[in-house]
Structure 1
Amino acid sequence: MELSTFDYTIIIVFFTIVLSIGIYVSKKSGKNTSEYFLSGRTMPWWLLGLSMVATTFSTDTPNLVTDIVRTNGVSGNWVWWAFLITGLLTVFVYAKLWRKSNVNTDLEFYELRYGGAPASFLRKFRAVYLGVIFNVITMSAVTLAAIKIGSIMLGLEPWQTVVSAGLITVTFSALGGFKGVVYTDFLLFFVAMAGAIGAAYFLVNIPEVGGMKALLTNENVADKLNILPDFSNKKALITLFIIPLAVQWWSSWYPGAEPGGGGYIAQRMLAAKDENHAIGATFFFNIMHYALRPWPWILVALASLVVYPDIASIHEAFPNVAEDKLGHDLAYSAMLTKLPSGLLGLVLASLVAAYMSTISTQLNWGSSYIVYDFYKQQINPNASEKKLVAVGRLSTVVLMVFSALLALLLQNALQLFDVLLTFGAGTGLIFILRWFWWRINAWSEITAMFASGIISIILKLTPVGAYFFASETGVFPDWSEYLFVVLVTSVIWLTATFMTQPESKSVLQSFYKKIQPGGPGWDKVINEAKHDQTDIVNDKEKWSVPSGLLAMLLGCILIYSCMFATGYWIYGETTNALILTGIAIASGFSLIKVWGKMKDSIL
């Protein structure tokens, strides 16, 4: 595929602007760690919300959605649509708690909520476990997508894509810090959305596809259109709908969709001006992430089934692609090669934008763990601010190198999504309950983390998993593997919780006084404090969780209705579209009333 001078001009101008932003803010970002990792906690909700959206719009996301749609149809997206419940729980219950904690990273929370050596170990271990291992794996999936795009669209070797894309990203990430990431995310969001929508519109109307009507009636597409899975297909119903909605959203820790908030979402909440801005940012993110973005990717995925009905047809069209990189996720990049000059340059710039946004966020977030939660805690407690910023910049480069090397060994995004999902299975409930149940202790989290990881490794990498959960010959149906990990992990951590000592009275009372989480799960601590004549309850602050849960429910109805109404408008199913639009409007007004009782305003 040949790029025109106009295409190159668009890409070069884009790169220039992004690097200029990184260089411009580098001096202020390098001033201290608060500026480098949290931008001085002065960020407004709309800028943080756009940054969250841009970050989760990575190069592997359209590839993942394409893989899902081609394999399981549109309804297969419930494996990630279900995480909306997690996201809105964070918005209406946990966002204000995170901002009130005033910690520098979500891992610093461990020594606020827990005490002693177990809390210190948990913080340092998870700094390496999440900040390095999980972070490198996540970034490698994003880089793998970039490799496939470079291979299909530009004929680049994997190492060429890794070096060219990674070098620019790591440069502005290391220089600009968190402020550079957020400021560039503002630009990256609009470039990425323009590219995705423009590509979808053009590709649906190419001669091979023949427009929307022809697409929807094509024999390769017709059975992939349902938003809900086929209820007569027991396996599809359980794996694609029931498990995600009933179990997965609360039970699994997954980057960007952590139950109770965490990771780079927590980083942005902690960088907000105040609690209201933290709530506004996360709500804005969830609306944009679920209601706005999926359909351009879905339409390209459906169109790809017409042009490239199977993997063999993709391989035939692109014979130079390595065998170990072939997969359904390649279809997205393959479709983009049909774009005209100008739009092609914009779409390539949008994919670069998606890559840079996600990687820069992961780098800054992972680096914050290494600096605050490992280096400063374990190696050099007296390090100067200048020294800590230098360590942050160095760790940014090292994380980029490790993720690039791992990306060269991977095959497809869906493969990695499944592994990460299983690795965090069973741990999510702790992250939800630890704010509202005094009995959760550091050993609860340590046990759950190791239990989930070890069980997942045994099932994924040894013959045990194949024996018990193979699709055709296993003792149990393969869809029950995830439920097994959740059940066993939950039993193990609950057992450990009651077999170990609770956190000390002083730790629990200090945590409650600072956060004011409220609820019956803290009655024992409050009563003990009264007995000790210690005042830990702020009588002016009412418990907002019941209203928060109602707001979460209304928010889910609003966003799902918007998402599916959009789909039915696209399908031309006017009656369903009108009904869902009406439901969206009604739930929106109800949400405004409930939210008004919780907060006067988010602005």
Structure 2
Amino acid sequence: MRLAPLDWIIVVASLLICFGPALFFGRRASRSTSEFFGSGRAVPWWLAGLSMVATTFSADTPNLVTDIVRRDGVAGNWVWWAFVLTGLATVFFYARLWRRSGVLTDLEFYELRYSGTAASAVRGFRAVYLGLFFNCMIMASVNLATCKIAGILFGLDRWQTLLLVGTLNVTFAAFAGLWGVLVIDMIQFFMKMSAVIAAAYFAIMSPQVGGLDALITKVSAMKGPGGLNYLSLLPDFSSNWDLAVAVFIMPIAVQWWSVWYPGAEPGGGSYIAQRMLASKSEKDALNAVLFFNIAHYVFRPWPWILVALCSLIVYPELADIQRAFPNLDPKLLGHDIAYPAMLTFLPVGFLGLMVGGLIAASSSTILTHLNWGASYLVHDFYRRFITRDADERHYVRAGRVATVGLFVCASAAVYLLDTAKDIFDVILQVGAGTGLLYLVRWFWWRVTAWCEIVAMASSFIVSLTLLVLKAQGVVFSTHAALLATVAITTACWVLTAYIGPQTDRAVLIEFYRKIRPAGPGWEPIKALVGPQAEGEGENMPLALVGWVAGCTAIWSALFAEGNYLYGRMPQAYLLTGIFIVSSLVLVQVMRKTHAQ
């Protein structure tokens, strides 16, 4: 595909608008690691929230949603819609606690909450495991999506794409620090939303589709594997039970609280925690995470879903995509590549906007992961265990070196992946069983660093055992493997909480005084603190009401949008009413929470 001169002008203008402002933050980022990794703890809620949304709006996300819709229908998106429960739990139960902790990274939390060499060991191990290996897997999936898009639109090889995006992203991530990342994210969010809405509009209006009504009519007449109804918002529990279990029952019943996944961590973590910790206040941290969840689940999904549904009409089979793009590397062919294939319907001007938006989508995620990963490697490993007494500028330079190294490693990992869905499944499986611990550790004094070690080890061992059994021909379904991993991991760390080494009482008392966690889980420590502990802590019943109201508001808004698009007006009106009522309750809860 060749871009017209107008497209190139728009692409260049988009990049200048996105990245230009970040140049003004280089000097500020060089002052200290607090500025480079934490923006001096001065970020307003709206900027932190927009950055969270932009980070999860990566180049591979539309591809992932397209893959899900083409395989499992619209209802297949429950594998990530279920994480609404996780996100709203972070808003009402954890956001203020994170900001109150005062740590620079969420891994520093380990030595605030636990004691002894085990606490240090967990912090150091997770700094390398998450900051390097896990982080590179995430960036590799984003880079893979970028390579597929560039292969479709421009015929570029993987190495050419990686060289181009790497030069851009590494330069700005290393120079501008978190402030630069946040400002770039803010601009990119609006650019990307404009681009994906345009992509959905022109896909729907393409001659093969023929408009929104024609799209709904044509897709309604199509049936997927096992009689799959592509348009259904809920899976078919009567005739396709296995799919219903995989995409709905397991995510809603187990996955949201048991699985650790970046951006939807039980209790908050990774770059979500980084934004909360960088916020100006507890109020800003709470508002930022709430805005993120609303924008993530309400504003963005349907433009992606509409393009995916259009692709079912234009490219019903993968062979149709291969015929349309004969020069495409066969190794890149998959259902996820249908999204970039649909971008060929964009007219001059809008194609330039989409290319600029895709570069922005890739950059916003990569920039965050580079800064976040470097913060772990430098602050939680290098500074903590190797060089402890250097000046701040030394650690900023180390952060910049780590930034370059991370992108090189992530680029190498691109050649090991096939689709965005592959990496999504791997991450969910490896992180299975640890989520409950991350929820409970704030509210139960018995959780120790050894619980974390046992949880990570048991989750890994079970996952590895399942892989070995699969190689020997013993195959478990995805949900059976997840249940086994969760059950064994949870049993192991809970047992460790009772029979393993305990956290030093002085550390527990200091943690309780600083964080003031609510609930009965800290009663023995509260008794040691004395009368000054009375009346402290969160209003848990109010937080629970906010959690339920928030989840209801987001899901009802999401599905009201879908029913309006489908032309199902009675259902749309009912869901709109539910959204209004739950939103009013949510507003009242927020007012009372901020007044505490």
Q: TM-score, normalised by structure 1?
A: 0.96
Letter in 2 for 1:435: W
- Asked if the contact 1:137/1:406 (under 8 Å) is kept, the reply is yes
Alignment correspondent of 1:126: 126
Which whole-Å CA distance do the structure 2 matches of 1:419 and 1:34 have between them?
A: 33
Equivalent of 1:220 in 201, 217, 222 = 222
Task: Give the CA deviation at 1:306.
Answer: 0.3
- Asked if the contact 1:84/1:556 (under 8 Å) is kept, the reply is yes
Equivalent of 1:398 in 384, 396, 405 = 405
Letter in 2 for 1:305: L
Equivalent of 1:550 in 545, 549, 552 = 545
Residue 320, structure 1, aligned to residue 327, structure 2: yes
Residue 352, structure 1, aligned to residue 359, structure 2: yes
Tell which deviates more after alignment, 367-376 or 491-500.
491-500
Please list the CA deviations of residues 170-220 of structure 1 after superposition, one character each: whole Å capped at 9, or x if unmatched. 111110000000011111000000000011011111001111111112133
Task: Give the CA deviation at 1:61.
Answer: 0.3
Task: Give the CA deviation at 1:22.
Answer: 2.7
Unaligned 5+ residue runs, structure 1?
471-476
- Asked if the contact 1:55/1:358 (under 8 Å) is kept, the reply is yes
- Asked if the contact 2:318/2:333 (under 8 Å) is kept, the reply is yes
Alignment correspondent of 1:14: 14
Please list the CA deviations of residues 314-352 of structure 1 after superposition, one character each: whole Å capped at 9, or x if unmatched. 111112222221100000000002211100000111111
Q: Structure 1 residues 536, 444: CA separation in 2 closer, same or farther (over 3 Å shift)?
A: farther
Which whole-Å CA distance do the structure 2 matches of 1:536 and 1:434 have between them?
A: 23
Task: Give the CA deviation at 1:527.
Answer: 1.8
Residue 519, structure 1, aligned to residue 519, structure 2: yes
Residue correspondences, number: 589
- Asked if the contact 2:518/2:536 (under 8 Å) is kept, the reply is no
Which whole-Å CA distance do the structure 2 matches of 1:542 and 1:485 have between them?
A: 33
Task: Give the CA deviation at 1:528.
Answer: 3.1
What are the residue-to-residue correspondences of 1:292-331 with 2, within 5 Å?
292-331=299-338
Alignment correspondent of 1:229: 235
Which whole-Å CA distance do the structure 2 matches of 1:271 and 1:466 have between them?
A: 48
- Asked if the contact 2:469/2:475 (under 8 Å) is kept, the reply is no
- Among the aligned pairs, what percent are the same residue? 50
Alignment correspondent of 2:481: 481
Equivalent of 2:464 in 457, 472, 481 = 457
Task: Give the CA deviation at 1:248.
Answer: 0.3
- Asked if the contact 1:100/1:275 (under 8 Å) is kept, the reply is yes
Alignment correspondent of 1:422: 429
- Asked if the contact 1:562/1:580 (under 8 Å) is kept, the reply is yes
Which whole-Å CA distance do the structure 2 matches of 1:559 and 1:465 have between them?
A: 41
- Asked if the contact 1:512/1:536 (under 8 Å) is kept, the reply is no
- Asked if the contact 1:551/1:591 (under 8 Å) is kept, the reply is yes
Task: Give the CA deviation at 1:467.
Answer: 4.0
Alignment correspondent of 1:591: 586
- Equivalent residue of 1:425, what SS? coil
Unaligned 5+ residue runs, structure 2?
none
Alignment correspondent of 2:392: 385
Letter in 2 for 1:220: M
- Asked if the contact 1:21/1:176 (under 8 Å) is kept, the reply is no
Task: Give the CA deviation at 1:590.
Answer: 1.2
Task: Give the CA deviation at 1:518.
Answer: 2.0
Residue 572, structure 1, aligned to residue 574, structure 2: no
Task: Give the CA deviation at 1:542.
Answer: 4.5
Residue 376, structure 1, aligned to residue 383, structure 2: yes
Task: Give the CA deviation at 1:12.
Answer: 1.1
Which whole-Å CA distance do the structure 1 matches of 2:62 and 2:183 have between them?
A: 23
Please list the CA deviations of residues 422-479 of structure 1 after superposition, one character each: whole Å capped at 9, or x if unmatched. 000000000000000000000000111111122212323x234764434xxxxxx553
Equivalent of 1:239 in 243, 246, 249 = 246
Please list the CA deviations of residues 151-177 of structure 1 after superposition, one character each: whole Å capped at 9, or x if unmatched. 001111111111111110111111000
- Equivalent residue of 2:335, what SS? coil
- Asked if the contact 1:220/1:309 (under 8 Å) is kept, the reply is no
- Asked if the contact 1:459/1:466 (under 8 Å) is kept, the reply is no
- Equivalent residue of 1:329, what SS? helix
Residue 173, structure 1, aligned to residue 179, structure 2: no
Residue 438, structure 1, aligned to residue 445, structure 2: yes
Task: Give the CA deviation at 1:128.
Answer: 0.2
Alignment correspondent of 1:469: 475
Residue 508, structure 1, aligned to residue 497, structure 2: no
Task: Give the CA deviation at 1:540.
Answer: 4.9
Please list the CA deviations of residues 291-321 of structure 1 after superposition, one character each: whole Å capped at 9, or x if unmatched. 1100000000000000000111111111222
Letter in 2 for 1:223: N
- Equivalent residue of 1:405, what SS? helix
Tell which deviates more after alignment, 124-133 or 15-24.
15-24
Please list the CA deviations of residues 35-62 of structure 1 after superposition, one character each: whole Å capped at 9, or x if unmatched. 1111111111011111110000000000
Task: Give the CA deviation at 1:577.
Answer: 0.3
Alignment correspondent of 1:46: 46
Alignment correspondent of 1:70: 70
Which whole-Å CA distance do the structure 2 matches of 1:536 and 1:202 have between them?
A: 63
Letter in 1 for 2:176: G
Q: Could you list the runs of 4 or more consecutive aligned residues of structure 1 that deviate by over 6 angstroms after TM superposition?
A: none
Q: Structure 1 residues 465, 97: CA separation in 2 closer, same or farther (over 3 Å shift)?
A: farther
Which whole-Å CA distance do the structure 2 matches of 1:499 and 1:389 have between them?
A: 42
What are the residue-to-residue correspondences of 1:176-195 with 2, within 5 Å?
176-195=176-195
What are the residue-to-residue correspondences of 1:154-169 with 2, within 5 Å?
154-169=154-169
Letter in 1 for 2:569: T
Q: Structure 1 residues 496, 542: CA separation in 2 closer, same or farther (over 3 Å shift)?
A: closer
- CA RMSD of the aligned region, Å? 1.3
Which whole-Å CA distance do the structure 2 matches of 1:22 and 1:79 have between them?
A: 35
What are the residue-to-residue correspondences of 1:279-298 with 2, within 5 Å?
279-298=286-305
Task: Give the CA deviation at 1:547.
Answer: 1.3
Letter in 2 for 1:380: T
Letter in 2 for 1:246: A
Alignment correspondent of 1:108: 108
